Structure 1
Amino acid sequence: MQFLVYILVYPFLWLISILPFRLLYAFSDFVYLFVFRIFGYRKKTVKENLRLVFPDKSKEEINRITKVFYHHLCDMIVESIKSMTISEAEMKKRFTFTNIDVIKAIEEQNKSIILMCAHYGSWEWIFILQTYVKYRGNAVYKRLANKYFDRLVKRIRAKYNSYLITTKETVPTLIDLKRKGILTINGFVSDQSPKPSKAFHWNEFMGLKVPVYTGAEMLAKKLDMAVVFFKVKKLKRGYYETTFETITLNPKEYKDYEITDIFLKLVEQQIYEAPEYYLWTHKRWKHRDKVPEKFL
């Protein structure tokens, strides 16, 4: 059944991926009508999240942010499909870096990197970074249910020396690569919400106390990796600009969870600057009322 779904859907995805950008975004507008106007995909969750973190914003402003967000979400969907056939030159034109020298300077120190980001702007095209550096790139991800689509996504990333690894594979894979002397740059989207029972740390995020993932910080300390945050700015439709900010070159010098807290503050800053580009469909604050006593 999985293969049948794959062979039926893949040609449709490929046809979308070869569309010129003008038509690609026209298709995105069409998808928006269904996702937002007709089906209202997670619209309730989006508005609840926005009202939670922006209690002072008017109903009109919440509605404006919501509409822009859904347009952006649909753009990201078609841009991820475009990754199947987009050329290296085209991607470099559309996903640029303001200070790639930050990454190259750490590479020259023969040091691997934990690259932390949030579900903000666009993280789909960040793997083009691999064409500028010698690092092997790894991105932690959740394996897709359909093994054929899972392989497809892995093939797309592998074009640029970037590989997808699951949460369970992360620690043994990075330990093995370090043992072999292979420098790596490892992407972690670290703003998700872990289950309260599995959370080692709680802190305020956008004014509400929530459980926080600490795996990126743990690995940085265990394997002595530099920690870098990357901030994505949407310049206009289909164009993004990334800026790197080094959190630390020596993670062991920081107290437990201090690096994670710095990361959260950096994420907050970019959300406040342009909230419409954050992934509001996630139930990021669903555990806010379940803070254990020891974290109060």
Structure 2
Amino acid sequence: MAVMRKSSVVNFFVYLVSLLPFWVLYRLSDILYVLLYHVAGYRKAVVRENLRNAFPEKSENERRQIARKFYRFLPDLIVESIKMRSISAEEAKRRIAIYGIEELERHFEAGKGVVGVTAHYANWELGIHRLSLLTDNPVLIIYKPLHNKTVDTIYNSVRSRFGAVMVPMKQTLRKIVAYRQQPHISVFVADQTPMHRDSDYFIRFLNQDTLVYTGAEKIAKKTNFPVVFCHIDRLRRGYYCCTFTTLVENPAEVPGHGITDIHNRFTEDIIRQKPEWWLWSHRRWKRKPKV
């Protein structure tokens, strides 16, 4: 009950802030950038280490420029995520262009479900809204519940505004089985950091041994649903595009951890092209291979 009351209070405050026009929110973002980067130095050590390990071939100045661009983008992402609380359907559609929609439509027309994979890249929160408004078929968002229940409740209420079904990781298979007989898309944010008890599969990702989830692959193989990558890119401040690309047509035919390897390589290629839009403040490599 206390969590619910706290969530309601915080949710109302977020709603009030979200009513501000974009131009006001971006002025707040400008201030937040100064506070995060120049004053507080928010996770600067983590960002520097991540970039140094990911791009040893780049000069210190090149990595510094990537970091600065990332910190300039991060507060924009924060205020845009708040705006998601009250943004209209029309505005959400206007803010993110869609490419490759035929990749989803042909799978839906064949009566198939789709295993969608994406990453913490550009504005994935806006991507959830846009995908929900793109199709009348069910949109399932597979997520890792946060330890902070108040924030978790608020995030879920925002993400489900336009009909997305929020599915905790541990309930994924049961929920997808429930939708198995109708076209739908289940979206996995595939660049999260699992616990050792949740995965034992390491790949080479951005020049480092990286523990990865294999849930999307397991679901794809059990259902033989095609795997489609949802690539969200930033065009300019406040505007994005999402491109759908089918990575695997018949998952049952892919041996071993091939599907996990494919969508992680695809993610890495995207990050290497425009590294500033990835979440570098995330402690992605805190899990190490067991010796």
Matches within 5 A, 1:257-268: 257-268=257-268
Q: Shift of the alpha carbon at 1:138?
A: 0.8
CA contact (8 A) 2:125 2:159 kept: no
TM-score of the two chains, using structure 2 as the length reference: 0.92
Q: Deviations over 1:92-131 (max 9, x none)?
A: 1111111211111111011001100111112101222222
The corresponding residue for 1:279 is 279
CA distance in 1, matches of 2:195, 2:4: 33
- SS of equivalent residue, structure 1 residue 84: coil
The corresponding residue for 1:91 is 92
- SS of equivalent residue, structure 1 residue 134: coil
Q: Shift of the alpha carbon at 1:176?
A: 2.0
The corresponding residue for 1:131 is 133
Give the share of equivalent positions with the same residue, in percent: 36
CA contact (8 A) 2:54 2:207 kept: yes
CA contact (8 A) 2:69 2:276 kept: yes
- SS of equivalent residue, structure 1 residue 125: helix
Matches within 5 A, 1:20-59: 20-59=21-60
CA distance in 2, matches of 1:134, 1:192: 28
Q: Which moved more, 1:108-117 or 1:146-155?
A: 146-155
The corresponding residue for 1:142 is 144
Q: Deviations over 1:40-74 (max 9, x none)?
A: 22111010000001112222222211111112111
The corresponding residue for 1:210 is 210
Q: Deviations over 1:253-272 (max 9, x none)?
A: 00021011111111111111
Matches within 5 A, 1:1-296: 1-3=2-4, 5-127=6-128, 128-145=130-147, 147=149, 149-178=151-180, 181-196=181-196, 198-288=198-288, 290=289, 292=291
Q: Shift of the alpha carbon at 1:291?
A: 5.0
CA distance in 2, matches of 1:130, 1:3: 26
- SS of equivalent residue, structure 2 residue 124: coil
Q: Shift of the alpha carbon at 1:146?
A: 5.4
Structure 1: gaps (5+ residues): none
CA contact (8 A) 2:127 2:232 kept: no
CA distance in 1, matches of 2:44, 2:221: 39
- SS of equivalent residue, structure 2 residue 73: helix
Q: Which moved more, 1:247-256 or 1:191-200?
A: 191-200
Q: Shift of the alpha carbon at 1:89?
A: 1.0
Q: What is the total number of aligned residue pairs between the two structures?
A: 289
Q: Deviations over 1:159-211 (max 9, x none)?
A: 32211111111111111222xx2322111011123234543422210122222
CA distance in 1, matches of 2:201, 2:152: 31
CA contact (8 A) 1:209 1:291 kept: no
Residues 38 and 265 of structure 1, relative CA distance in 2, 3 Å threshold: same
CA distance in 1, matches of 2:13, 2:197: 41
TM-score of the two chains, using structure 1 as the length reference: 0.91
What is the one-letter code of the residue matched to 1:23?
V
What is the one-letter code of the residue matched to 1:284?
R
What is the one-letter code of the residue matched to 2:86?
T
Q: Shift of the alpha carbon at 1:137?
A: 0.6
Structure 2: gaps (5+ residues): none
What is the one-letter code of the residue matched to 1:209?
D
Q: Shift of the alpha carbon at 1:36?
A: 2.1
CA distance in 1, matches of 2:81, 2:36: 17
Q: Shift of the alpha carbon at 1:276?
A: 0.7
